[in-house]
Amino acid sequence: AALPAGIGRGTVQALHAAGVQVVAVSRTQADLDSLVRECPGVEPVCVDLGDWEATERALGNVGPVDLLVNNAGVALLQPFLEVTKEAYDTSFNVNLRAVIQVSQIVAKGLIARGAPGSIVNISSQASQRALTNHSVYCSTKGAMDMLTKAMALELGPHKIRVNAVNPTVVMTPMGQANWSNPQKAKTMLDRIPLGKFAEVENVVDIILFLLSDRSSMTTGSTVPVDGGFLAS
């Protein structure tokens, strides 16, 4: 789970409604508290996924886990000439390294049990198109798309599928914070054939599809939820 109305929370709500036993990971205890009140039975884990050792302690014995959604992400926007070491480190630690770490933990558990599984990485249209002030963010997501393919290659023989979802701007607190300027929003909307940003539900529907057996022959793919942005 991520922000109050974020993709992570929407995914947990949908999985919980479908009767799935969910472990929700967030660095924000208050968000987990309200989530558990809303979805009784969800197991909360409060940890900053940017911290390798803390993540190992928090999730090392989690499970058994069959399905994983790697959703945690940060967007620290800076002009290229002003990119800082701190922004780089935080962005790559959370957006990429944590995906490797958590996926290793889950995949090792699946392989030890001889169980099939599905992993979904939440990427972005920014993995495939350059956006102003997004040089580090775009780079983390470009790396995530390739990591998704590499994981699919190596985990496929173990019957573990790995796919990425690449949304356009989504109307979450993070999306609203970065795209609230009407002029900035218009330049992006003008490049989206469907003429609108994504709702959380649009992204969650694709995540559920990729987690489910309905997509049993799909792995190593990047699935846009972008209103046609990447086609334009």
- Which residues are known catalytic residues? 137, 141
The phi, psi pair for 180, rounded to 5°, reads -75, -25
CA 35 – CA 33 distance, rounded (Å): 5
Q: Cis peptide leading into 64, omega within 30 of 0?
A: yes
Q: Which two tokens stand for residue 144?
A: 């995530």
Q: Using the 8-state DSSP alphabet, how is residue 25 labeled? A: E
CA 188 – CA 203 distance, rounded (Å): 18
Q: Which two tokens stand for residue 169?
A: 């701007």
Write the CB contacts of 38 (distance below 8 Å, at least 6 apart in sequence). 13
CA 190 – CA 181 distance, rounded (Å): 14
- Separation in Å, CA 109 to CA 65, 117, 160: 7, 10, 11
Count Cβ neighbours within 10 Å for each residue of 64-82 and write b for 16 or more, e otherwise: ebbbbbbbbbbbbebeeee
CA 64 – CA 74 distance, rounded (Å): 27
Tell me which residue has tokens 């490049």.
Answer: 191
